[in-house]
Structure 1
Amino acid sequence: MEEKFKLKEEDVAILNSNKGLTALLSKEPYNLEKAIRYVKYEKKIKKLQVELIRLQHWAIDENERIIIIFEGRDAAGKGGAIRRATERMNPRHLRIVALPKPTIEERTQWYFQRYVNQFPKAGEIIFFDRSWYNRAVVEPVNGFCSEEEYKIFMSQVNDFERMITESGIRLVKIYMSISKKEQKKRFDDIKKNPLKQWKMTEVDEKAQELWDVYTEYKSKMFEKAKEGNSPFNVIRANRKTYARVDAINHILKKIPYDKNREV
C-alpha cells in the first residue's frame, strides 16, 4: 500500500498562496505534491536567475566573453533549460544560437568557421543550442558527414577549444542526458500536441531506432573531451525542473563572477 503524502506546515502555506493555488488548479487531476514541488522549483529558479543577472552584469563590466554549450539527445530539454536561464537576463548582451543545417557555401568552409562567426564580443554571453559537436554525434549517426570528416573533427576539436580558452573566452559545456523511455514519452507528447508538432524532424523520427548508435558516438565524444581542457558536465534530465536547476547551478559554479555585486 502506498504511503500517503503528508503535508507539513510550510506545505500548507505554499498551497494557500496565489502561486500554490494556481499550480494546484492548473492541471487535472489535482496533485498536492506536484503543486508544492513546482512552487518550490519556481522559487529556486528565481533565486538562480538573480545570480545569472549578477553574472551578466559582471561580464559586461569586465568585458568578459562567455560561450555556454548545451548538447544532448533530441527532446532532452536543451531549449527549455536555455530559456529558463536567459528569460530574466538583458537580451542586448546575450544571444541564443541554434544554427540550421549548413548552406552550400558553408559546406566549402572550415567546419568550425560558421560557429566562430557567432562568437561573443566583449561583455556578451552566447548560448549554443547544439554546437560544433553536431559532427561528433548527430552527423555521423545520420550519415550527414563522411568518416574522414568525422575523424578530422575529432582530431581538431580539442585544439580548437584550447585556442578558444587561451584567447580569453570562457567555455562551459553541458550535456543533458535522458533515458530512452523518457525520450519516447516526450516524442509522443510532441506528436499529440498541435502546438509542438513542428518540433519533430526526420532526425527525431529515427532517434529511438538509432539509440544505441547515438550512445556509441556520445561515449567517444565524452572520452575525447576528457583529453582536452573542457570536459562536458552531464546533467540528468529525465525530470526537467531538476535538470534546469542543475544546469544553471553548473554555469554559476564554472564562471568566477563577483557574487557580491549589486543587481
Structure 2
Amino acid sequence: MKFFVILAVLVLRGMPGQKLTRPFDRAFLGWQRWTAARLGCRLGAAPGFLAAVLPWVLILWLLLWWLHASFWVLPTLAVHLLVVFYTLGRRSELVWVERYMVAWRQGDHQAASYYAEEILDDNDLGDDACQLHARVVARLIYFAFDRLFLVLFWYLLLGPVGALLARLSERAISNARKEERAQEDLACDEQVSLFHRVLEWPAARLMGLSLALVSRPLLGLRQFSSDLLRWKLTSEDFLNRQLLTGYGILSRDQEARDVFAQRPEIMTEEADQELAQMKERVWRVLALWVAVTAVGVIFWS
C-alpha cells in the first residue's frame, strides 16, 4: 500500500489544487490557540503542543485500526492518500522559485524581491546577488525536505500516523514562531524544539546520504561522513553543505557562506542551470526512495 501511495505522490505532486490543506491548517491553528487558552499556557509551551497534536494522531490511529479490522483495503488506501496529500501541504514550493527566476529574467526586480521574501521568509535580502541566489537554493532544498521528504520518511516508517505527526508538529511550531514574531516575548519550549529536531534528524541524514549517492558520490560521502554526527547542525545547513560538494568539501569549522562567492549570480544562465540540476537531484532522490520501497514490498510483503 505504501508503494502505491508514493507512486501517487510522484504522479500527482505537480498537479494544482491542494487548497484543501489551507482550511485544515487554519482550523488547526484555532484548535492550538483554544487548547493553549484552556490549559493556561502560551502557544509554544510543551503541554499545549502535546494537547494540540496528540489527539488527532490518536484519532487517526483508531480510524485506521477500525478500517483495517472491518472493511476491505480500498477505504484504508483512501485514508492513506488523503492523509499523505494533506501532510505534504502546498502544491510545490518550486513554484515560488520559478516565479522568482522568471521575474529576474524579465527585469521585474520588485516582483523578484517579493518572491524572494516569500521563499526566505526574510525582509533583509541584502545586496549580494551571489549570496541571494545561494540562500534561495539552500531554502529550496529545505522546502523539499521539510514539506516532502520528512513526511514521506515518517510515512514509510509509521504509516499515515507518522506522516500526520510530522506535519502537525511542523505546523504547531510554525504557528508558535509566528506568534513569537507578533508578540516578541514568546518562544517554543526546549522540549518542543528538541522533539521536532529528533523527527528531522534521521530524515535529513537519509536525504543527505541520498543526495550524495545520486550526484558526486565520493565527495558527497566525504561531506556526509564529516557532518553525520553533528547534532547542533540544523537540517537546512546540513543539506546545504551536501549541495556545496560541487564547489569542494567544507571542513567542520567552515560555514556554507564561505563559498557563496563561488556560486553563480542571479539572472545568469549558470544560475538557471544550477537550479535545474537541483530539481533533478531532488527528484532522483525521491525516485531512489520509491525504488527502495518497491524492494521492501517485494521481499518483505
Shared fold (TM-score greater than 0.5)? Answer: no
Higher fraction of helix: 2
Q: Which has the higher contact order (CA 8 A, sep 6+)?
A: 1
What TM-score does the superposition give when structure 2 sets the normalisation length?
0.26
Higher fraction of strand: 1
